[in-house]
């Protein structure tokens, strides 16, 4: 398959009429799959009402078919087609955070969406992305768009069109290049089907912001207990992993440096994932900063790009610093823990 790539300036007027958008929308209506930028990461979009299109998404990504997909819409009126009802707290969250990096789990109408897209569940995750290219494409297609991250399953999520090309060239019909994404980590997922909404996946909207909007909110026990099965789309399997094994270390620079020295003595090429504050303090084969510790939004924005950069360095092992689990730090640590797949090394 030849993958077409379109470059689109997200700042131009009337994007919905641009040839790149109309051509990509036509492919979606023909049940092909197209990668598109959002404010979080690039998504791999397909017609959420078509088993054929959704099957192509799973095939392109190599993603297990028991993982439900998030449905993307361009305006709230689209919800009337496939959502049974919208609870009051969900409505409040939409008014406060849409468009934006927030996915809401709602009860679906039967017989509208592909059962493959929802993994046969009675619920569906839906969001309205805060990116003009994504919104224009969805509106031009006239469809609800199922769109997991546009990467090979298990790899770091893509925050640029080049990341998508690296993973999926020849596996998808097209890639809309709308520039680098902004938030950097995926949307927060909130289950709104219970009396007190539940955070199933931390992301671009923090727990503190959600509490301010609707009051009491709970978190999925699986976020802190690896023995429990997660309920959020895309969280069931190991994700975001670089090629080399990643180990998170809760310790000082000196303690992490001692681990680096041990592995180098074994002949290993060692990488360190750190921040600007500590970058010059490490003696390792590859040291990469993913942002500033005093501004965790910069870490979230650069996290996946940093994980991918280690792949180009051919390191044998990576040690990563840990971050405070508050605000967006919760999402950062969630993604790093999924990328590692190993318990944190406690040295303090």
pLDDT for 81-90, tens place per residue? 999 999 999 9
CA separation for the pair 115, 118 (Å, rounded): 5
121: nearest Cα among 129, 132, 131, 110? 110
DSSP state of 255: H
Q: What is the pLDDT of residues 157-211, one digit of tens each?
A: 999 999 999 999 999 999 999 999 999 999 999 999 998 999 999 999 999 999 9
Write down the pLDDT at residue 65.
79
The SS3 assignment for 73 reads coil
More confident residue, 230 or 321: 321
CA 99 to chain centre: 16
CA separation for the pair 161, 152 (Å, rounded): 14
Write down the pLDDT at residue 240.
78
Contacting residues for 19 by C-beta, under 8 A, at least 6 apart: none
More confident residue, 37 or 13: 37
Contacting residues for 86 by C-beta, under 8 A, at least 6 apart: 79, 94, 106
Q: What is the pLDDT of residues 217-273, one digit of tens each?
A: 999 987 866 555 555 655 555 567 899 999 999 999 999 999 999 999 999 999 999
List the structure tokens of 322: 């840990």
Write down the pLDDT at residue 82.
98
The SS3 assignment for 295 reads strand
Write down the pLDDT at residue 225.
63
Write down the pLDDT at residue 227.
53
Write down the pLDDT at residue 239.
67
CA 5 to chain centre: 21
Write down the pLDDT at residue 63.
82
Percent of the chain with pLDDT over 70: 95
Q: Answer yes or no: is pLDDT of 51 > 90.
A: yes
Sign of CA dihedral 86, 91, 95, 98: negative
Write down the pLDDT at residue 238.
56
Q: What is the pLDDT of residues 14-29, one digit of tens each?
A: 999 999 999 999 999 9
Query: Hey, which bits of the chain come out as E strands?
Result: 4-7, 34-36, 43-47, 70-72, 102-107, 123-127, 145-146, 174-177, 188-191, 198-201, 218-219, 246-250, 270-274, 286-289, 317-321, 345-346
> What residues pair up with 123 in beta bridges, in sequence order?
107
Write down the pLDDT at residue 25.
98
Q: How many CB atoms lie within 10 A of CB 267?
A: 7
Contacting residues for 50 by C-beta, under 8 A, at least 6 apart: 31, 114
Q: Answer yes or no: is pLDDT of 135 > 90.
A: yes
Percent of the chain with pLDDT over 90: 89
Write down the pLDDT at residue 66.
80
Instruction: Name the average pLDDT for the chain.
Output: 94
CA separation for the pair 311, 136 (Å, rounded): 34
CA separation for the pair 123, 80 (Å, rounded): 14
Burial 323-348 (b: 16+ CB within 10 A, else e): beeebbbbbbbbbbbbbbbeebbeee
């Amino acid at each position: 398959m030849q993958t077409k790539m379109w470059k689109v300036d997200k700042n131009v007027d009337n994007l919905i009429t641009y040839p790149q958008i109309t051509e990509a929308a036509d492919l979606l209506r023909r049940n092909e799959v197209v990668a598109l930028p959002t404010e979080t990461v690039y998504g791999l979009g397909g017609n959420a009402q078509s088993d054929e299109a959704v099957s192509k998404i799973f095939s392109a990504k190599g993603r297990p078919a028991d993982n439900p997909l998030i449905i993307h819409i361009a305006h709230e009126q689209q919800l009337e087609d496939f959502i049974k009802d919208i609870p009051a707290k969900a409505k409040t969250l939409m008014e406060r955070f849409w468009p934006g990096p927030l996915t809401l789990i709602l009860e679906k109408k039967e017989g509208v969406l592909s059962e493959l897209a929802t993994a046969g569940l009675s619920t569906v995750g839906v969001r309205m992305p805060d990116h003009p290219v994504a919104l224009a494409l969805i509106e031009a297609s006239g469809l609800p768009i199922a769109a997991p991250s546009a990467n090979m399953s298990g790899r770091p999520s893509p925050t640029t069109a080049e990341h998508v090309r690296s993973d999926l060239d020849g596996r998808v019909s097209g890639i809309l290049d709308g520039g680098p994404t902004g938030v950097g980590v995926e949307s927060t997922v909130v289950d709104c089907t219970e009396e007190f909404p539940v955070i199933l996946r931390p992301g671009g909207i923090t727990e503190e912001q959600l509490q301010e909007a609707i009051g009491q909110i709970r978190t999925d026990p699986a976020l802190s207990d690896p023995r429990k099965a997660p309920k959020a789309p895309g969280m069931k399997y190991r994700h975001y992993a670089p090629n080399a094994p990643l180990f998170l270390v809760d310790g000082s620079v000196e303690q992490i440096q001692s681990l680096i020295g041990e592995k180098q003595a074994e002949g290993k090429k060692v990488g360190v994932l750190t921040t600007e504050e500590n970058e010059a303090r490490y003696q390792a084969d590859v040291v990469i900063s993913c942002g500033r510790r005093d501004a965790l939004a910069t870490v979230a924005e650069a996290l996946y790009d940093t994980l991918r950069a280690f792949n180009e360095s051919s390191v044998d092992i990576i040690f990563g610093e840990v971050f405070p689990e508050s605000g967006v730090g919760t999402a950062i640590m969630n993604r790093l823990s999924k990328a590692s797949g190993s318990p944190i090394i406690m040295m303090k």
